[in-house]
Amino acid sequence: MKRILIVVLFFVATREGMSQTKYLSSEKIYDISFGSFPSSKMDLYLPFNRTKETPFVIVIHGGGWVAGDKKGDRGSQQILMEQGIASANINYRFVDSFDTHYEAMLADIDSAVNFCIADAEKWNTRKTNFIFMGASAGGHLALLYPYLRNIKTNSVIAECTPVDLADTTTLAYETSIGLLGIIFKMAGATYTPGQKIDPRFFASSPIYHVKNIPTLIVHGTADKIVPYAQAVKLEKKLTSQKIPNKLITIEGADHDMNMKDIPTRNMIYKEIVDWIWKYNS
């Protein structure tokens, strides 16, 4: 009789445990406020049946530090979510000629990351070991933030990204295409050819702050906004310091990395997803 009772109790307990198992549905939550500025908004994409081991990507949009919006990266979020990857896609303050420079943008990323940590229990997501991902100016911030901040980071994905803004050849090129003024705003400093480079150009350049963080670089060889040489320079620096990295070269591609070409687009996203899962632990 006791044996039958034990079996029955075990069966009931098992059924109760099964009934309490939580299979989380996928969620998309838009325009979550994470800070005190009008721009402090994020879109959150959470995959089905996520756990605290699920990769979590902080997506940072591009736009030359003076424009752009997170809406442009919702397609990337969708692809990540379909591959079981969570993401927070953030807006941030834009730079100006007065008091909003790269430090302000990094502070906005701080606010977003801290918000994600604070709400991790509610979302059933991780509190550490994030991935940072961005293109162009967003890639610059995705690199600079974990390089300068004391935060555990699984990896960085940087697409068509400026990495050395203290390089005189790069500054001369950006002058020729009319973008030097934007770099001045981002760095909070100016440059006159033939004169000493202001330290703020070094301070705001990711290549001078590299950490041992696995880094995926994607860049087109015909980029007319950010020269391909920037990607090669970062790859060489990371390799010289034995930091895991991979450069995906898109032959003949401009600043858009030829993403309108479906095979190219699929290849890039496969590389990104594979990279995220490879360095998820």
> Given this model, what pLDDT does residue 67 score?
98
- Smallest CA-to-CA distance from 158 within 144, 139, 145, 141 is with 139
- Reading the block at residue 107, the tokens are 């502070």
> Given this model, what pLDDT does residue 13 score?
39
> Given this model, what pLDDT does residue 12 score?
36
CA distance 23 to 199: 52
Q: Which parts of the chain sit beneath pLDDT 50?
A: 1-21
Residue that is written with structure tokens 């555990």 in the block: 152
CA distance 245 to 66: 29
Q: Model's pTM, two decimal places? A: 0.91
Among the four given CATH numbers 3.40.50.1820, 3.30.200.20, 3.40.50.2300, 3.60.15.10, the one describing domain 23-164+212-278: 3.40.50.1820
Q: Which amino acid is at 262?
A: I
Residue that is written with structure tokens 């050395």 in the block: 164
CA distance 81 to 86: 6
Distance separating the N- and C-terminal Cα atoms of the chain: 49
With beta carbons less than 8 A apart as the criterion, state whether 89 and 70 touch: yes
pLDDT tens for each residue of 75-105: 999 999 999 999 999 999 999 999 999 999 9
> Given this model, what pLDDT does residue 281 score?
81
3-class SS letters over the chain = CHHHHHHHHHHHHHHHHHHCCCCCCCEEEEEEECCCCCCCEEEEEECCCCCCCCCEEEEECCCCCCCCCHHHHHHHHHHHHHCCCEEEEECCCCCCCCCCCHHHHHHHHHHHHHHHHHCHHHHCCCCCCEEEEEECHHHHHHHHHHHHCCCCEEEEEEECCCCCCCCHHHHHHHHHCCCHHHHHHHHCCCCCCCCCCCHHHHHCCHHHCCCCCCEEEEEECCCCCCCHHHHHHHHHHHHHCCCCEEEEEECCCCCCCCCCCHHHHHHHHHHHHHHHHHCCC
pLDDT tens for each residue of 130-162: 999 999 999 999 999 999 999 999 999 999 999
Burial of 226 (0-12, 13-18, 19+ CB in 10 A): buried
Burial of 129 (0-12, 13-18, 19+ CB in 10 A): middle
What are the boundaries of each domain within the chain? 23-164+212-278
